[in-house]
């Protein structure tokens, strides 16, 4: 593959601007009732379990890390040290489509146990969104099926420059970091308090 030494990086700049515009629109149109429900559930939980597949799973891990810094009992579903979910726990499932099979199946188990299920998804009418006690809707383009993203670009359509679920993943990361910021404000903790729980084995 030839290295594009003289590229003007037009798509690079445009992608950043489109994402910034998307995040600004998301902030202006968010359903704050669902956010309040999520915050209340987090505070009421005995333990918090975070789950997501692929890149959404990486977003979930980052969120779980911040919850740990705040002193919550938090686990990432799928880790070998993660204990069993109980009725007084909260399970947070992250899936742009709300149809990721592994996450939907785990959501059903959480519902059967009687724990509180929170979905972070772009599709409130999805299987995960419908079964959740609280559904937080993150506006974002979910994954294309059949190469729709590539097909549009071959035709010269550059309205959506972020591939696959990128819009959702970036938006959900910003959303979950904003949840952490709100928790910090409510709890009255400082950055120094968070650093006390930060890992020393890096």
Active-site residue list? 169
Bridge pairing between strands 48-52 and 74-76: parallel
d(CA 31, CA 27) in angstroms, rounded, equals 9
What's the distance, CA 13 to chain centroid?
A: 24
- Strands of the chain (E only): list them: 48-52, 74-76, 90-94, 116-121, 134-137
Q: What Rg value do the Cα atoms of the chain yield, rounded? A: 18
């Amino acid at each position: 593959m030839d290295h594009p030494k003289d590229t003007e990086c037009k798509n690079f700049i445009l992608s950043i601007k489109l994402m910034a515009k998307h995040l600004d629109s998301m902030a202006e149109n968010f359903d704050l009732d669902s956010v309040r429900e999520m915050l209340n559930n987090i505070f009421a939980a005995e333990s918090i379990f975070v789950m997501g597949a692929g890149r959404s799973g990486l977003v979930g891990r980052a969120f779980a890390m911040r919850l740990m810094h705040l002193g919550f009992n938090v686990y990432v579903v799928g880790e070998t040290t993660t204990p069993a979910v109980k009725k007084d726990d909260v399970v947070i499932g992250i899936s742009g489509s709300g149809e990721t099979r592994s996450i939907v199946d785990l959501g059903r188990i959480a519902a059967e146990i009687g724990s509180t299920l929170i979905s972070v998804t772009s599709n409130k009418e999805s299987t995960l969104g419908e079964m959740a006690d609280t559904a937080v809707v993150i506006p974002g383009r979910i994954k294309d099926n059949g190469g729709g993203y590539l097909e549009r670009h071959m035709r010269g359509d550059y309205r959506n420059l972020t591939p696959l679920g990128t819009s959702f993943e970036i938006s959900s990361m910003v959303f979950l970091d904003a949840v952490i910021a709100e928790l910090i404000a409510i709890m009255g903790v400082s950055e120094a308090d968070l650093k006390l729980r930060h890992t020393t084995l890096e």
